[in-house]
Structure formats: structure tokens, C-alpha cells
Structure 1
């Protein structure tokens, strides 16, 4: 008899785990509460416009390639990948920085802003590349069960990099505030302030400048389609519109789930849903972490998102655009230190139709705007409208064009939606931050300490937030399950 495994949720980590477990011969079944697979990586198609509702940055292409290689496939079997040139543009109040698709172009841009800055930049990125090699090939491939997993010949010689911060390293080498913001920006993907993130995580800077920014033709949802197709090919059964209401525990072992009020029994339960939410599916005596535990953790931001169809092509924009024309540090304080709606928010705007004509009707533009905000904030229609006005006015000023009268439609997504659609703790968008005290073995565990045969995966556990780490998280938990059940 095959060991049977129920997987809650169908995001990147769940699909990754499902593929690896099916390859090992387990009977795998996914239960997704929404009407499509992908978890937070969903797609909106409206009036001919295509939007990635969730992740929109394709970094670390090597991780995606390794995933498909593990099944005898390549990325190109499923979707077409283009390297963006330029990678992205950053708007400051008085000028713009364009990040090119090679280190030489980026160094030239740094020199334009601050003479002599290319030399420390090359040194900084070389060290970031060393960190990347260690992180991706050693540290993140460990399941976070013990502090000794961080002890390798490579990390021992870099132990100081876990106690210094990204901010201190950047500011030691660069003085221009615009270059500092440019180099501190990538760690926002890790969900923490640069002055709280260990400098070892500068490997994100290598992911940015060294490996570049890519785009799957048709959008990020093409990856979900690919992983869903692979999982199905491997024999995974996928159930949509299937809301898991309870995890069944018998004799301190996970024995199944209640789905749409129906009991279903399995040998193993694996949740890729929000970790906090998953534990609410258990009786209190079976939960590992208290509400007090979660309330003290540093969570990555939530977001206010706008999906907009424009009836014309826009000027002076790239595929990815960052608007840093206000105080970077103050916005971070408004997210992490004294959580509140920011007075002058930074924001991000994504126009995939700049490089991918399939994502908008002819002579139109697909626009996705994002404001990072603290999780758990009040979310009302009035606040959404207020902040849309703030950012669209600044967008018009900085890009020197009028666009308000060219909006065909505008959809918004915020804290309440993250909670309602993804059961997200306080409506967070990216999981738990990778601060020093929330790294590796200090994150919530892949294996339940209270309930046998219950496992977790995703961005609240190891390795952490982001799409590539989620793929790795699925692989890590599949290895733990395989080790325990393969020979039973």
C-alpha cells in the first residue's frame, strides 16, 4: 500500500513538495481552497489584460532550473524566459537610476552617480556571490532542525556576517544615499529592515546584479501552470475549491483532514498554507506555537495592490519601476517600528506589457502598483482610494505624463483580502522576516513537535520568504517525509 499524503494549499512550496513526493512513489493529493492552483501566485485576466496577482519578480533563475532538472525537465520545456534589459528603474525625486542587465552597465551607472563607486561595488558583489554560493549550495538546503546546520567550513570563516547587518556593510562602502537605497532594496524581499538583516543575506544583491531579472512570457503564473502540469504528470491529484476546515488527529498522529465538511483520511498531512492558520485547524493542545509567540515575531510587510488597465501605452517607464522619491528609512519605520499607514509611501509599479505584448491589448498597458505596509493595519475602501490618489499623482509627476483619464478599470487588493483569500496572519504578504533571530533553525519547524505525521512548508518556515526559497522549502520537507516513510 502506498503511503498517502494530503497537502493543504497549492502555492509554490506545496506544488514543489507534491512533485518530489510523487516522484518517490507516495500517493499525493492537494487541497486548494480557491478556484485555481498557485496560492498567492494567482492570475487576473480582465478585458484582455493579464496580471500576476502575487509575485512579479523572477530572480535566481538557477533555482527554477534545478527544480525542473530534478524531474528530467528544463524550464524551456514549459515556458519562455527572457532576461530584462534594463532590469529595473528607480525614481528618486530629482533623478533616476537604471539598473542594466550586466555588471559593467551597473558599474557605469554607479560611477555616473558617485565617482569611484564602481570599485567598492565590484568588491561588494564578489563577496555577495561567495555568500550566494554558500547559501544556495549549503545553508538553505538544510531543514532547520539544528543550529549546527549553520556550521560549515565556509560559514565558520564568515561568522561575523551573521552579526553584522546589510545596512552597516553597505554604508561602510557607499556614501551616496541613492546608491545606499539601491543596494538595500533587495533585502526587502526578505521582509525585514536592512539594519535588522544579517549581512550574509547580501547574496540577494548578487541575485539582483549578478544573475539579473527575468520574465516568463505570459507572466509569473506560467511557473504555476508548469508546476501544476508536472505534478499532474507525476500522478498528483489536485482538488480546487476544497477548503480544509480541520486536521484530524488520532493518538497524537495526523490522520486526515476535514474538507468542505467531509472527513478524508491520509497517512501524512503536509500544510503549505499559512503556518499560523494551519495550527488553528488543530485542537489547542496540539498546537506548537501560542498566539503570544506569533504576536512577538517580525512579519514581512503586507501590501496595498492596484491592478489597472490603461487605454494607452505609457511613457518613461520600464517593466519594473521603484519609486524611492520619499524617505526610505521612514517608510521602514512605519512598517516595522511604529506600524501605521505611511504618510509618504515608497511604491513599486510593474508594467509587464512593456516587454511582453501578450499581457495587454494592443496599444494598452497592464499596470500593477504595490505599496508595502505593516501587516494588521485597518483596511477600508476610503484608505485604498486615498493611497491610490497619493501614488498616482506622484507617478504622473515623476514620469511626466497624465494617466488618470486613461484608466479603463482599477481593482484593489489589501490586508482584508490576504486574510480572506489566503488565511494570512494579519494579512502579511511575504511570510516571516529573515532577521537574525528568525533565521534557519530559529524559524517555525518543518516537522510538528506535537503531532506525529504532520509537516509544514512555505514562507513562514525554512528557508524563508520568496519564490525560490519556497521551491526549496518544498524539497526540504519532501526529503524529511521520504526519510521517515519511504521504507515503512
Structure 2
């Protein structure tokens, strides 16, 4: 029977769910509070420059292909993909960096040149990572987190010890060189927790990195949002922007309507792709499945301080994706997870999309995105933002041996307060809830409300977890549950 389904938010998971639900013949309407769609993956345009506000890494191309294939389409029907070569560069000091190539044989050679014997160890490690990738991404993550039995398969039974070990110990047991250790630990940060708190099984992220490569959609990650919007509209989805949800109405234990900009709109089913914690605050307290105490105890992925900067010249000695690990990785991690505070010397990441994509900046100029990971819930002021911009720009000039501060045309910033204001993000987190052992699969907040009938959730605080590919999968999983709805 055709259902009237209302969806809160228009991020990757909400758009994915909308496509699947519309394909089943349902009447699907999306409500987005902001003036443009995409959730955290919006776009900033200024003075001829174009920036992705949110995600900038396109990993796991197979997940995107699987999504579009479900509709008889492929990514190339909507956007052009460019494989980055090199994938990225990691800076450890002045003229001290490691370049990660776009293929595994070259990466193995690079490792061997840094630490004798590590090439062979990396080849072995990557076989294990690929095996885990095949189990996780092709199977386990497409399970809805309803039961612990979902994790029990012939393949996982053989790897049970990897769920109780951790990535950090696993890597350090094989590799001694600190630079190589940090490069191998880096992909796990996308899962939102310290490598020492992330199960060994998640080394499949290393295969996503070295095995599948790093890609760039022409015109940025927002191209993927626009592709999904186009697909959704082709399937009959209605999308409303500037539509703030004020309440989820419940009648006789069933979600029956949304209050949007003061108006009541009825629904057979309500799905929220907005922040899970915020979504539950739209319910009367008695209908909420998770208490404030529950959320307080959870390990959240970091927030971020982001800068979007236009330079009046091309920047030298950097790659499209550049990581600056010239300070102590472990100390910064402690400042995020163990003793939350503004880090004295932060690691930071920079993306220079105009190195690859001429549409990102006017000719002869450079677009730059800088990101400092931070603990969620920190005090966020303009003064602190300025202090940290000065810190990273000074280091960038020093590490790349060039003058840059006088070449800034403009800069915009985005931090904890903006994540809260624009996305109703719990404590201003940027990536959702971390994938630690006790926050994996069936131990994450549920896709289906435990207290209210006809109410569902999707996105990075539920199954399968943080990241863009998991968001696409989350949309599919919740759509499958709704399909079985009675």
C-alpha cells in the first residue's frame, strides 16, 4: 500500500532513504531547515571560489556504485570522478613528508624506503584489511543492527579476536617507524574514535585508503548531493527547503504528523535524518527512547574548526589532500577524547581542491579548506578561531617554505556553534557517534523507534556509523525496515 512518508533533513542518509522509498511507490516528502539541501555536505560559493562545507574525501567508490546501481544508474550518469594521484601527502616537518601514491605497489615501495622490511609487512596487512573489507562493506554493514546475531557469520567467527583487539596495537606490533604508524592509523579517524579504542577488524579502512584509492568528484562532493537530488526528483520525491521541524506529533503511540514552520502536516510514517538526539527532543519526553544521561555517556566523534580560504596565488609544495602531522598525534588525541580541551598544538588537514578542479577557484588563485579536529562541546569564540587560524597558517608557511598570510583574499570559518545552529548537532559534533566496540552495530541507537510506532531514524548516530558511504547504507537499511512496516 502506498504510504505518505515525511522525512526530516536532506543529508546523504535522508536522500538515500527517500530514493529507496519513492522507488517502492510511496509518496515521499523531504523537509530541510536550511536554504539548501545536503545537510553537512553543503557548498559555499564566494568571489568565484567554491568549497565543500562538509565532507571532502570520496572513499569507497564501490558503495556509491552500489547505491546508484540499485536504481539502474551509475555515478557517471550524474558526475565525473577523478582519481587523485597522489592520493594525499603527509607532512612531518620542513621538507619531511611521505607521499601516498594512487596504487598499492607504489605505496609498498614507499613504506620499504622509510622502514626496511615494512613493504612485505604492509602487503600482508593489506590482504587482511581487504578480507575484512569484503566481509564488512559487502555484507555486515548492510544489516540493520537489530540483533547481535547479525554479527555472527562463518567469516566473523574466524576473526572474533579482531573485535577485541585494537587498531593501534595491531599496527604498532608490525611497524616501528612512527611516521608509518601514524599514516596507517589515520583512516580510522574517519570512524570517530582513537585508534586505541577502535577494534582491529576496522582495519578495512586501510583497504579503503590504499586499496581503493582517493577520488574527487568534479565540482566537489556537492556533485554527489546534486546527483542524489536529481535521482530523488526523477523518482517523484518532493523536497522543501527553509522548512523547520518544530514537533513530531504522536497519537495513541504512533507518529502521525510533523509541525513544519507552524503548520501541521500528517504522515503515515516519519523518518528523521536529522541529528538523532535533536530528533528525539521534537517528541514529548515520554516518547523518547534515549535519555539525556544515555547521550552524555556515549563517545562522540570529534567536532571541527574549519576555514574556507581564498588565496590570490597558487600555493606550492602541497597536494590536493595534505595532512600536517608535525606535532604529537597522541597528545592531540587526548585533548579530543580523554581530557577535552582546545589543543595547544593541533594536527590539521588541508584540502586544495583547485589543484585538481579548475572550477574551484579563479585562474591563478587557490581555494583552501583547513580542518582542525576538536572535542565536541568546547567553548567556541571568534577569538579562539583567530588564534588557531594564526597557528596553522604560521605552520603551513614554515612547512611549505612560502609566504601566504598576505595572499589571503578572504576566509570564512565554521565550528562548534555553527554545527549546533545549522545542523542541531549534539554538542556540535561533526561526524556523529564513534564506532567503538560498545557502539558498534546492534549497540548503536536504533533505526526504528522503540517507543513510537511509525517513527524511524537514519544517519551517522545510528547504523552503521560515521562517514558518507555509511550514510548511504543507513538510508538503504532504514528504507528496507520501512518496507516491512505493518
Q: TM-score per shorter chain, which class?
A: over 0.9
State the 1:391 CA deviation. Answer: 0.4
Q: Find the aligned partners of 2:93 and 2:341 in 1 and give their Cα distance.
A: 23
| SS of residue in 2 equivalent to 1:249 | strand
State the 1:2 CA deviation. Answer: 2.4
Q: Structure 1 residue 467 and structure 2 residue 468: aligned?
A: yes
Please name the residue that 1:6 is paired with: 6
Please name the residue that 1:26 is paired with: 26
Q: Find the aligned partners of 2:11 and 2:414 in 1 and give their Cα distance.
A: 18
> Deviation per CA, 1:92-126, whole angstroms, max 9, x where unpaired?
02510000001111111111211111001010011
Q: Find the aligned partners of 1:437 and 1:15 in 2 and give their Cα distance.
A: 28
Please name the residue that 1:78 is paired with: 78
Q: Find the aligned partners of 1:371 and 1:276 in 2 and give their Cα distance.
A: 24
Q: Find the aligned partners of 1:372 and 1:61 in 2 and give their Cα distance.
A: 25
Counterpart mapping for 1:23-422 below 5 A: 23-94=23-94, 95-422=96-423
> Deviation per CA, 1:204-257, whole angstroms, max 9, x where unpaired?
000000000000000000000000000001000000000001001000000010
Please name the residue that 2:435 is paired with: 434
> Deviation per CA, 1:8-42, whole angstroms, max 9, x where unpaired?
00000000000000000111000000011100000
| TM-score w.r.t. length of structure 1 | 0.99
| SS of residue in 1 equivalent to 2:484 | helix
- Taking only aligned residues, the RMSD between alpha carbons, in angstroms, comes to 0.6
Q: Find the aligned partners of 2:315 and 2:93 in 1 and give their Cα distance.
A: 19
Structure 1: tracts of 5 or more residues without a match: none
Q: Find the aligned partners of 1:147 and 1:118 in 2 and give their Cα distance.
A: 37
| Matched pairs, number | 485
Q: Find the aligned partners of 1:408 and 1:270 in 2 and give their Cα distance.
A: 42
Q: Find the aligned partners of 1:368 and 1:400 in 2 and give their Cα distance.
A: 19
State the 1:483 CA deviation. Answer: 1.1
| TM-score w.r.t. length of structure 2 | 0.99
Structure 2: tracts of 5 or more residues without a match: none
State the 1:338 CA deviation. Answer: 0.2
Please name the residue that 2:447 is paired with: 446
Q: Find the aligned partners of 2:358 and 2:222 in 1 and give their Cα distance.
A: 16
| SS of residue in 2 equivalent to 1:137 | coil
Please name the residue that 2:480 is paired with: 479
Q: Find the aligned partners of 1:12 and 1:221 in 2 and give their Cα distance.
A: 10
Q: Which runs of 4+ in 1 moved over 4 A?
A: none
